[in-house]
């Protein structure tokens, strides 16, 4: 929600400074996301007068000007067709930055002629779209004055983040009301702001427009008034300036009035060209397959769950979301119908999500506009049309009834201390609630009846009233009170699963990985890239966060891309989170998982290493094994099997399993198409560790088995076997380790060789075997027997001892 400081002061009588207002906004829960001073970007641009203009000696379309910006003549080369002697315009001094393109002006030679700055157009200063010539100011504009000061552009633009429950602050007046309740100023009467004697509907001649509502569930109330004989032109300068300041492009007087009222009061409106309508307008459910050409130029196909505004011939408006192109006003419009309706927030939200349309009207209607503000909103819009476009109003037509039944909450002022820990006296609480628009009736000591204002649909009970009081008083007054602690030694509160995740986090961090925390939601496209998700949200906060993630990889890949875009050369990310699936009973199932992504350079280039080295699937496997060990998995018993699936590079991935069915981890090089889809280049390796698949440890006592180092030194023997090319090294290592479980304590692969001396279809695998003697050293006969058992185990897999 953006607005200017002067716009706010139209509703708020205050002498507070900008800084005081910003502090108050943050204090009452309206977080200030940013403040932009338009005058700051125009620093270095002054009003200047062209003294002389002569042709450029080397270019037909350029002129050499002599410009006075208040400090004497300067020579400037200019290509604008309207540049001439006597013109007063805007001049950019050397050192100024052109807002439109970020170019810093310098003294430079243009086609051999020195130029000291630039005469500017409105587009270059981002003040409009005109680029045909330089800005022409009145002849009496003071030369040498800063242009921003003279043009009154020093009006800060405040950007406030409005939480979904504060629909009343989706207009400047609602924000002003909150600030007045905080004590920053006084809220002006609305009829004074709009200079109207009253906000009662404007009386008109003749019958009101023919409108009705046949969908009372989606559109409970449809009010309208016609104005004939209007002249649609440009909006007045004050209105256009405010709209442009917050990023709205002025279109025409009639359209700008609706946009202005929507932002000023949080009340969306729509204006129809009556000449383009066939018969009356009706709010009804769309028919399956009906289409409408919206104002954004796109055609939308509707279904019977959506509320629309239509005439006898066609649909003209996706109700509460976006108007139609076919009935929009234009420069030739003379008769208009002003719509001021109330649409059910839930219906608007469902329609907007289905069609994927985001608009200012949708943002306000789906949060809930004030249902009691239809007559006043229509009166204000009609007054603005009459004042700026002329014409004669008709009577007002009111179809349906808005949901304005009063709502009361029983409230005990002592609840504030009980819930928030802040002791606010009753009179102060009542005053705060009154300034926020609540009506308080004291029925008895400790028993109030509070009537909720129509614009606060978020208020439901006493706890909400406490929140209103406390945020106005100040959250800094809420005491920090520790929870009571029972005497004695505190019992551990972490569950076994939480302890496992804690160990995994520490291990990952100790190995140089950086933890990422991503959303548990993905877009449908991201979810499809890893096989699709089981759960889709009915009411997501964004279409990009719609599917409960079936994998941690999309979030990590997006984080990797963001890091890469910002210059990171070696990306090592991990995340501990949940994946979401359908359970056998139809409910959701959360599976704890660890994901990791390695991208970019494993080692940087150097004089010893040469070129930078990328990550390999063995790096992902090593990380997966280390994290599995930290999680308590029986790493020594794991088997490496096959490719990991469609998301992985064929032949460069695998799984770690306990038996053929229990998959503990998957790892390897990601499929190039998947990496490309997330904007990553080069080799990207990853792994996912499924913590829920790790078998639980058997219960044991608190005593740990004492460490007893072996009394005798271990013996190591190397074996080289010729095995079929297709045999996995992991299978051979496990077979060797199991040849003599009592004596062999470790076996590891240390060499792989193919080439001269090795037959085609075969490879040489060299394994280091560690033997641990018990009470006495091995004899030669015992070592020979163990070696024979190792060779026999290899032969069972088709291997033979290499000579």
Q: Please state the separation of Cα 357 from the chain's center in Å.
A: 16
Please state at what angle helix 780-795 crosses helix 729-737, rounded to 10 degrees. 140
- 590 annotated ligand-binding residue: no
Burial of 338 (0-12, 13-18, 19+ CB in 10 A): buried
DSSP state, 534?
A: S
Choose among 641, 632, 627, 790: nearest CA to 729.
Answer: 641
How many beta carbons lie within 10 A of that of residue 71, not counting itself?
Answer: 10
Distances from the Cα of 512 to the Cαs of 612, 615, 623, 689, in angstroms? 18, 14, 10, 17
Question: Could you tell me the two tokens for 207?
Answer: 């019958």
211, β-bridge pairs: 281
Is 468 marked as binding a ligand? yes
Q: CB–CB of 613/601 below 8 Å?
A: yes
Are the CB atoms for 426 and 477 separated by under 8 Å?
Answer: no
Q: How far apart are CA 803 and CA 797, in angstroms?
A: 18
Q: Which residues contact 457 (CB under 8 A, 6 or more apart)?
A: 167, 345, 368
Angle CA 638–640–642, to nearest 5: 150
Q: Is 543 annotated as a binding residue?
A: no
Interatomic CA distance for residues 599 and 618, integer angstroms: 13
DSSP for 663-704 reads: EEEEEEEEPHHHHHHTT--S-EEEEEEEGGGSPPPPP--SPP
Give DSSP secondary structure letters for 591-656.
Answer: EEEEEEEEEEEEE--BTTTBSPEEP-HHHHHHHHHHHHHHTT--GGG-EEES---TTEEEEEEEEE
Sheet holding 447-452, edge to edge: 407-411, 447-452, 439-444
With a CB cutoff of 8 Å and minimum separation 6, the contacts of 344 are 217, 218, 219, 220, 307
- Ligand-binding annotation for 760, yes or no, is no
Question: Angle CA(123)–CA(126)–CA(130) in degrees, nearest 5?
Answer: 25
Q: What is the DSSP string of 403-430?
A: ----EEEEE-TTHHHHHHS----HHHHH
d(CA 384, CA 774): 99
Residue 400 near residue 221 (C-beta atoms within 8 A): yes
What lies within 8 Å, CB to CB, of 98 at 6+ separation is 92, 104, 105, 118, 120, 124, 125
Euclidean distance between CA atoms 375 and 340, whole angstroms? 8
The CA–CA distances, whole Å, from 724 to 560, 759, 795 equal 39, 10, 11
Q: Tell me phi and psi for residue 173, to 5 degrees.
A: -65, -40
Instruction: Please answer whether residues 144 and 47 qualify as being in contact, where contact means their C-beta atoms are separated by less than 8 angstroms.
Output: yes
Q: Report the distance separating Cα 632 and Cα 696, nearest Å.
A: 9
Q: Distances in Å between the alpha carbon of 271 and those of 259, 336, 410, 739, 774?
A: 11, 6, 42, 86, 94
Residues at the annotated binding site? Answer: 458, 464, 467-468
Residues at the annotated binding site for Mg(2+)? Answer: 458, 464, 467-468
């Amino acid at each position: 929600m953006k607005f200017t400081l002067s716009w706010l002061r139209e509703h708020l009588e205050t002498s507070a400074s900008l800084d005081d207002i910003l502090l108050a906004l943050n204090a009452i829960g309206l977080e200030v996301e940013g403040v932009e001073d338009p005058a700051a970007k125009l620093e270095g641009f002054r009003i200047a007068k062209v003294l002389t203009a002569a042709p450029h000696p080397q270019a037909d379309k350029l002129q050499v000007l002599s410009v006075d910006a208040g400090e004497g003549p300067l020579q400037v080369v200019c290509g604008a067709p309207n540049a001439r002697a006597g013109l007063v315009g805007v001049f950019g001094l050397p050192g100024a930055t052109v807002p439109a393109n970020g170019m810093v002006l310098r003294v430079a030679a243009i086609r051999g002629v020195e130029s000291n700055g630039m005469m500017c157009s409105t587009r270059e200063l981002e003040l409009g779209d005109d680029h045909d010539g330089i800005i022409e100011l009145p002849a009496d504009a003071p030369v040498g004055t800063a242009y921003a000061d003279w043009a009154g552009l020093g009006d800060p633009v405040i950007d406030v983040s409005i939480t979904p429950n504060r629909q009343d602050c989706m207009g400047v007046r609602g924000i002003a009301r909150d600030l007045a309740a905080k004590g920053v100023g006084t809220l002006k009467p609305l009829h004074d702001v709009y200079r109207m004697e009253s906000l009662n509907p404007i009386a008109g001649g003749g019958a009101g427009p023919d409108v009705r509502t046949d969908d009372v569930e989606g559109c409970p109330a449809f009010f309208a008034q016609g104005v004939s004989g209007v002249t649609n032109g440009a909006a007045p300068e004050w209105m256009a300036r405010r709209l442009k300041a917050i990023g709205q492009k002025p279109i025409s007087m009639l359209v700008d009035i609706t946009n202005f009222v929507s932002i000023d009061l949080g009340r969306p409106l729509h204006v129809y060209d009556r000449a383009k309508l066939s018969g009356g307008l009706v709010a009804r459910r769309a028919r399956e397959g009906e289409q409408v050409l919206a104002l954004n130029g796109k055609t939308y196909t509707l279904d019977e769950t959506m509320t629309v505004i239509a005439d006898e011939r066609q649909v003209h408006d996706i109700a509460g979301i976006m108007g139609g192109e076919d009935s929009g006003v234009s420069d030739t419009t003379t008769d208009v119908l002003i719509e001021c309706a109330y649409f059910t927030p839930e219906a608007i939200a469902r329609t907007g999500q289905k069609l994927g349309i985001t608009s200012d009207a949708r943002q306000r209607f789906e949060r809930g506009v004030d249902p009691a503000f239809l007559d006043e909103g229509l009166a204000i819009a009609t007054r603005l049309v009459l004042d700026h476009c002329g014409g004669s109003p008709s009577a007002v037509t009111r179809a349906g009834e808005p949901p304005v039944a009063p709502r009361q909450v029983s409230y005990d002022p002592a609840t504030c201390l009980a819930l928030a820990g802040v002791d606010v006296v009753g009179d102060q609480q009542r005053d705060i609630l009154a300034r926020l628009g609540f009506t308080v009736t004291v029925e008895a000591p400790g028993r109030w009846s509070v009537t909720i204002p129509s614009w606060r649909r978020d208020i439901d009970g006493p706890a909400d009233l406490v929140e209103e009081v406390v945020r106005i008083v100040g959250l800094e007054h809420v005491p920090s009170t520790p929870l009571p602690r029972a005497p004695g030694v505190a019992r551990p509160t972490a569950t076994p699963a939480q302890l496992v995740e804690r160990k995994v986090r520490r291990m990952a961090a100790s190995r140089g990985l950086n933890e990422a925390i991503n959303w548990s939601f993905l877009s449908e496209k991201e979810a499809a890239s890893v096989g699709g998700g089981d759960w889709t949200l009915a009411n997501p906060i964004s279409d990009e966060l719609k599917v409960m993630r079936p994998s941690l990889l999309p979030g990590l890949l997006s984080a990797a891309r963001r890091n890469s875009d910002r210059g990171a050369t070696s990306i090592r990310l991990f995340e501990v989170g949940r994946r979401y699936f359908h359970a056998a009973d139809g409910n959701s199932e959360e599976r704890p998982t660890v994901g990791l992504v390695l991208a970019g350079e494993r080692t940087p280039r150097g004089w010893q290493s040469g070129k930078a080295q990328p990550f390999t699937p063995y790096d992902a496997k090593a990380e997966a094994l280390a994290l599995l060990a930290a999680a308590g998995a029986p790493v020594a018993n794991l088997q490496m099997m096959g490719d990991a699936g469609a998301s992985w590079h064929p032949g460069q991935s695998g799984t770690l399993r306990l038996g053929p069915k229990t998959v503990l981890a998957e790892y390897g090089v990601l499929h190039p198409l998947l990496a490309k889809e997330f904007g990553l280049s080069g080799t990207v390796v990853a792994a996912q560790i499924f913590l829920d698949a790790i078998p639980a440890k058997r219960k044991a006592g608190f005593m740990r088995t004492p460490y007893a180092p072996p009394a005798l030194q271990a013996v190591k023997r190397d074996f080289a076997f010729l095995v079929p090319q297709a045999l996995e090294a992991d299978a051979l290592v496990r077979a060797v380790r199991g040849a003599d479980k009592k004596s062999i304590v470790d076996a590891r692969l240390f060499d792989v060789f193919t080439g001269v001396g090795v037959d085609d279809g075969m490879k040489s695998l060299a394994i280091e075997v560690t033997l641990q003697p018990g009470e006495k050293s091995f004899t030669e006969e015992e070592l020979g027997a163990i070696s024979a058992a190792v060779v026999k185990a290899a032969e069972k897999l088709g291997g033979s001892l290499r000579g």
